Amino acid sequence: MEKQPLALRILNVVSGILLVTATCLVFFYAPMELVMGQVQRIFYFHVANAWVGMLGFLVAAIAGIAYLRTHDLKWDIVEQAAVEISLVFFFITIVSGSIWAYPAWGTWWTWDPRLTTAAILEMVYIAYLLLRQGIEDPDRRARFGAVYTLIGGLSVPITFISIRLFRTIHPALIGTASAAAQGGFDMTPHMLQTFLFGLLTFSVIFATLLWHRIRLGRLAEKVEQVKLKVMQ
């Protein structure tokens, strides 16, 4: 495999520094929330993972459009990379949300509109990976994948606005929450600063992982092309 570019190596270091700093801010800079206590600190990681997860699914949809316009397989690599990374981040979102939900709601899981749409969103993109595994031709696989990410991408805004469209116990971070929302809180300046720094940190981590996964995808494409030539 080719040597990592200098910019990527710098990103590796920056990502690590940012993650350590963000963690320190969460536990030592942001004040403890008076009602929920220490468990509220998971909020910073929960929302940051959700942000990156949804961001990656949107990146995949954009890459899908680019492939359909150009038929260049490099966009298929970007698309798959974004989906794989976002699936992991979004799974962490669901797990961390459950940990936060138990002390806030008294249950690990409830079929609340936000939780339900989030679970569906995760399964939609798991199905995307299964679809790709069932198609051997690279061009056909890329074409089906691109169309799928465009359709699947519709579930991202639906999940985001579900707490504003339906009666839900999930608190809204931006805008007015439902009257039934539980676990919401007002952020102090230190909380807000920690929250925004967390979003920045996880965005940089996502970009770093995406770059690594794209490089791996290019290598896999070369291996697949050699395999196809041997089989001909």
Quick check: is 22 in a domain?
no
What residue type is 154 in one-letter code?
L
pLDDT band at 179 (very low <50, low <70, confident <90, very high): very low
Q: Count how many domains the chain has.
A: 1
pLDDT at 164 over 80: no
Global pTM exceeds 0.85: yes
pLDDT at 168 over 80: no
Q: What is the pLDDT of residues 23-43, one digit of tens each?
A: 999 999 999 887 788 888 999
Residue 139 structural domain: 44-231
Q: What is the pLDDT of residues 132-152, one digit of tens each?
A: 988 888 899 999 999 999 999
Quick check: is 207 in a domain?
yes
Quick check: is 172 in a domain?
yes
Q: 37 forms bridges with which residues in the sheet?
A: 33
Cα distance between residue 189 and residue 29, in whole Å: 11
Quick check: is 19 in a domain?
no
Quick check: is 193 in a domain?
yes
- Rounded to 5 degrees, what are φ and ψ at 231? -75, -20
Q: What is the pLDDT of residues 86-138, one digit of tens each?
A: 999 999 999 998 888 888 788 888 888 888 888 999 999 999 999 998 888 88
Quick check: is 62 in a domain?
yes
Torsion of CA 21, 26, 29, 31, to 10 degrees: 170
Quick check: is 39 in a domain?
no
- Rounded to 5 degrees, what are φ and ψ at 3? -65, 145
Quick check: is 10 in a domain?
no
